[in-house]
Chains A and B, each alone.
Chain A
Amino acid sequence: MNIEIPDFALVVLIGSTGSGKSTFAAKHFLPTEVISSDHCRALVADDETDQSVSADAFDIVREIAGRRLKHRRLAVVDATNVRTADRKGWIELARKWHALPVAIVFDPGIDICIERNRSRPERAFGGPVVQRMVSEIRRGLGGLQREGFRQVWKLDSVERIEAATVARQPLWTDKRHDAGPFDIIGDVHGCAGELQALLAKLGYQVTWHDEEGRRAVTVTPPAGRKLVFVGDLVDRGPQSPDVLRIVMHMVAAGSAYAVQGNHDRKFGRWLAGRKVTIAHGLQATIDQLASEDRGFCDALPGFLDGLRSHVWLDGGRLAVAHAGLKEEMIGRGSGAVREFALYGETTGEIDEFGLPVRADWAANYRGPTAVVHGHTPVLNAEWINNTLCLDTGCVFGGRLTALRWPERELVEVEAERVWCEPVRPLTARAGTVSAQAEADQLLDIADVSGRRWIDTTLKGRVVVAEENAAAALEVMSRFALAPQWLVYLPPTMSPSETSAREGWLERPEEAFAHFRARNVAEVVCEEKHMGSRAVIALCSSADVAKARFGIAGDESGAIWTRTGRAFFNDPTMTEALLARLRGAVERAGLWQELQSDWLLLDAEIMPWSAKAGSLIESQYAPVAASSVVGLDAAADALARAAARGLDVAALGDHVRERVTRARRYGQAWAPYVWPVSSIDDLEVAPFHLLASEGRVWFDHDHVWHMTLADRLAAADPVIARTQWRTVTLADDTAVNDAIGWWEQLTAGGGEGMVVKPKGFVARGPKGLIQPALKVRGSEYLRIIYGPEYDAPEHLARLRPRKLEGKRKLALSEFALGHEALTRFVAREPLRRVHECVFAVLALESEPIDPRL
């Protein structure tokens, strides 16, 4: 006997002890596929036959089998499974994971079983036990199908058991090997005219002819293409029979797949003489059928009944089901799968038109497989979370829509007329918000919490630890901007290696050496402004902001800090600055040049005090005041002691030196502080154009970005020019010039510079390298490291700095930021963008020395 089972199933072996189940299982299944109760007893109690632990052993069998089914793996339960009650749990488990339950019954005869048990001394099962088992199995045999097993295989002799072979078949719905290309057609509902118009538009040739007095059709597809019908071929429309003819012909010819719609199913049940309520356009189909020929009518029941619940296509990338499908149902089979595919999910409530309220499964869909479906008439076919509804209400006077796959193009024809008045009017969604933005309004906690793995294009998989995600949750939900705006957070930036030179902590030589060692030929040095980092989303109008970012308010853009908070507490300030920037972009002609009505800028906004005012007041100023006062008092005491003849001169000098350092500390941030009373007091220094419509600009080098920044700076005085230069690392003169330039910058109170490989995304022999290194001036470092950091005894101890952690973070965050932008630009669901941004914030909670 050849036992043909689905390649995804829960196989339940049934047979008394000694009937040969385990031997059979070992022969036909992988050791990992077989879960044996004996083995699990041993796992629990070191003894395969210890019946006292059976309950726990079966819990383990169930757990393992369940996990395998969850991952769509075949599982074989090797236990006696004698009684109905023993088997009931397996049926439930199979249903839960939408796997087909298959029974294989072993009955080689009582004597054989007793004999085999006798030869295994550790099995003390006597004759009566085996006898009881076998008779119980035989009694239950007839009811196995009723219990829920979809296949029952009986092996009733030693010979048959030995001769049996096992073959695995893909499920009826599993057409993953078929890569198309496909043209997927929405709900036709008897609109044969529109269907033919659409097929013509798609390049299919439809020829009607007479075949022995019967109306027949031939459809020739364009080379290699196939049709997929999402179901609901019949009812309501004018020519359901012709639609069926086309589909039946094509399915028979192997040039189309059709999945079953609820109308098709009901029509089939009516044909089979079942009692159905004739409503929702079924009468029209019945009437049209009256004048059809007998042969056609006779073929219908078989065709309708044979329609699939769904098809899984193109290597698993595409699934088509009439009313959609949840991720965990794709490529599986169960009553629940069929029900869902036919009717979708309803909340159980009834709306004001008497129609069931549909649960929004698509809004919750998270799967990698694109699900294309119909069933619910919509005004426009729009992708939501990788799902697409193609039912654009043709029969209600809308359109008939097809999706070309893998091209993902929509092809549509207008309805010839309203064939049927809709019960519930088709309405446009409120406002200009897209279906995806509408579905995106809700993010799920499961999308961000716990340990997370995010696949990035630049750096492969980035892992976010659970505790970091937890730390980010509060910040994200209490302090950050709305997630619709927050499509990017900037990565942290590492300083250069600690300078080897006496008296210095950071110098440009080390930054240049870093990149030289990684085969970078050219770098761009940019003046590092001492302000606060800002990401600016600038839209050409509030309408664009609404449409592109899907935000609720009337903002025309947003400006946020590196932790995702609004840069300005006052929204009018944000709008005023955005208006100025918009003007600059306009004058620079960037909207046309970039073919975009929005852009995302990475910038520094000065003065530092605008954002860090309270930090200066609460943290830095107190250090300056307290250090000077205490040391002054000490210097005075020592001076008086010296005056009365004590030998404290050296000590006094030392304290006076410390007073000098403390005074310099108080002056260190003076260049970065000025009062802000209006926009004119601000300076914005953009340095990256991150993204615009359809583009992430990481593929352009920093010379391009800085040239663009220069153009913006020329367009409005609120935009500060950033000094920058390219340096060829092999050119010693250029390198020395750059060092001199840096010294000059920092001596004049500048923070320092940022050194970047010329290419935005740079790779060295060991992969991705730092996108930027900062080299900070010695007075700026005083603010960070404290008043007395450059005293020789202190500097010596500050030198060993652990940079690896910071650099690892910088790379991960860089890759995540790029990923967020890539996904945003590709119009992926918000959660896919948000998870990257959330991850950047989460990584920022890593304990890293904040002075780096």
Chain B
Amino acid sequence: MFLSIATTHQPATDLGFLLNKHPDRLHELELTYGKALIVYPEASESRCEAALVLDVDPIGLVRGKGQSDGLLDQYVNDRPYAASSFLSVALNKAFRTAMNGVSSSRQELADSAIPLEAVVTPLPLRGGEAVLRQLFEPLGWEVEVAAVAGPQGDPTSRYVRLTLRGTARLSALLNHLYVLIPVMDDAKHYWVGDEEIDKLLKRGEGWLDAHPAKELIVRRYLRHRGVLARAALARLAPETQDEALDPDARSETEETLETPIRLNDLRLSAVVEALRASGARTIADLGCGEGKLLQLLVRERFAERLIGLDPAARELERAAKRLKLGALGGPPEGRVTLLHGSLTYRDARWAEADAAALVEVIEHLDPDRLPLVERVVFGAAHPRAVIVTTPNADYNALFPSLPAGQFRHRDHRFEWTRAEFAGWATHICTAFNYQVAVSGIGHHDETLGAPTQMAVFTR
């Protein structure tokens, strides 16, 4: 990765004093993850340019220093090459005094705004050019973006060569770059612990508070803290890896779409009421995810025993935390049980439940597995009541940002119209001897119905 800083302030070679690095010498520094080289490609009275070349050791990065994060790191990736927090760490190491706005011989210059130009390449462009401009332009930088060629010569949308021009104190430029390069990169930090994240935020002092994109900046930092993907699963199912790396993007689409009506809250309370009406005492939340429904049910007296089932172990960990299982102030032992399991396997551990809820679950199953799930839930377990909710595809037309024919969530394998759902419900009733009542949840549209449909099966 490459970063250069140039000035046309005269004499331009004073840049060497500000950076504390002599323009006619080659400066090398050792970093834990590689080497940084500082060289001045240009050093005249009229223009002086310092280049920082960061040479990350790709093998060392993979092999780690005995603290490898796991399999992901072993795969070849762009980390040794793309501008990232590595560059920030190198900046801090190479130009710390300049970043602090201190210069032993040119303090006055360090305190003055001077014409500056910076180049960063390749800079990851997560979120597109708009985000890039949103980050740098409010700080007074003129932003120039040049495309970067992909391996076959075609331009890639992933990286750009960024040029910033403007008049500012050198320390401001360095601090902006220090904080905003990792924000653009928006990836998991390597070898950067919590402390360094705090340091990054400290570098934002004086400008970050007033930055209009402050929230985005902070969020992108926090997103990658402490998210450790389960390496084993990652290898088998890269898509769950994406989810793990991106916890709030996980259901972003679906929730953004549905947020104005806070559909999820309505849905959950409708399910709770249906469960209450069913007279059930032992309730299984099948596909409980992080336990939002269970959290509501724990507060209900009628729910004597609660069972949550999910195939994703890390969802269950989140649920256990949310429900305070085994912690002070949590439910008494034995009232809530979380099970790692799957709806495609019969499971005696929850067979005793007298009601089961499948809230926004079936649409995540391949249609050819549905018969199996039906037999497990309605056939083998055969609870007195089963509550199923699923999106109403008819209603999708009312989501302005959802292109026609697209599902609300990328993991949805299907979304049913009201007629399709009713057909399925009838089939269940005949095959497994249930009665059903179908209703809608959320804003009701005259012709297209409600966004969510719910079936309450009883026998």
Contacts and interface: CB of A to CB of B under 8 A. Distances in A.
A442 B122 contact: no
Interface stretch (B93-101, B106-114, B363-371, B438-446): B363-371
Interface stretch (A4-12, A107-115, A573-581, A840-848): A840-848
Contacts of A478: 237, 311, 342, 364-365
Contacts of B232: 467-468, 471, 845-847
B42 A644 contact: yes
Nearest to A441: B375
B404 interface: no
A551 B161 CA distance: 54
A274 interface: no
Interface in B1-25: 1-2, 4, 24
Interface stretch (B73-81, B195-203, B386-394): B73-81
Nearest to B347: A445
Interface residues of B, number: 75
B337 to A, nearest CB: 14
A830 to B, nearest CB: 11
A704 interface: no
Contacts of A631: 81
B26 A648 contact: yes
A84 B405 CA distance: 73
B81 A477 contact: no
B121 interface: yes
Given A473-B311, A630-B122, A850-B71, A552 B371 contact: yes
A798 B375 CA distance: 51
A624 B150 contact: yes
Contact of B2 (A443, A625, A634, A784): A634
A277 interface: no
B213 interface: no
A472 interface: yes
Interface of A is mostly: helix
Interface stretch (B152-160, B164-172, B176-184, B266-274): B152-160
A73 to B, nearest CB: 25
Contact of B41 (A441, A563, A640): A640
A847 B71 contact: yes
Contacts of B364: 478
A655 B372 CA distance: 59
Interface stretch (B51-59, B131-139, B204-212, B256-264): B51-59
Nearest to B51: A637
Nearest to A478: B311
Interface string A776-789: 00000001111111
A619 interface: yes
B24 A646 contact: yes
Interface in B186-242: 230-233, 235-240
Chain A interface residue bracket vs B = 35 or more
A623 B158 contact: no
A620 B158 contact: no
B89 interface: no
Contacts of B346: 442-445
A647 B51 CA distance: 15
Contacts of A637: 2, 4, 39, 41, 51, 53
Interface in A618-660: 619-631, 633-634, 636-641, 644, 646-648, 651, 655
B340 interface: yes
B336 to A, nearest CB: 19
Given A478-B311, A841-B236, A626 B26 contact: no
A630 to B, nearest CB: 5
B448 interface: no
Nearest to B342: A477
Interface in B336-389: 340-349, 364-366, 368-369, 371-372, 375-376, 379-380
Given A623-B81, A847-B232, A851-B75, A474 B2 contact: no
A629 B235 contact: no
Interface string B398-409: 000000000000
Nearest to A788: B58
Contacts of A71: none
**Which residue, of B4, B42, B59, has the highest number of chain A Cβ atoms within 10 A?**
B59
Nearest to B413: A478
B149 A629 contact: yes
A223 B60 CA distance: 77
Given A477-B343, A619-B75, A636-B41, 19 more contacts: A444-B346, A445-B341, A470-B313, A470-B340, A471-B230, A471-B233, A473-B341, A478-B364, A622-B156, A623-B78, A624-B151, A625-B122, A625-B156, A626-B148, A630-B121, A647-B26, A844-B236, A846-B232, A850-B71
19 contacts: A442-B345, A442-B372, A446-B348, A471-B233, A472-B236, A482-B368, A619-B75, A624-B150, A625-B158, A625-B159, A629-B81, A629-B159, A634-B53, A646-B26, A648-B39, A783-B76, A786-B62, A787-B76, A850-B71
Interface of B: 1-2, 4, 24, 26, 37, 39-43, 51, 53, 58-60, 62-63, 70-71, 74-78, 80-83, 119, 121-122, 148-152, 156, 158-159, 161, 230-233, 235-240, 311-313, 340-349, 364-366, 368-369, 371-372, 375-376, 379-380
Interface pairs A-B: 7 shortest CB-CB: A666-B151, A477-B342, A640-B41, A624-B151, A626-B81, A845-B232, A633-B2
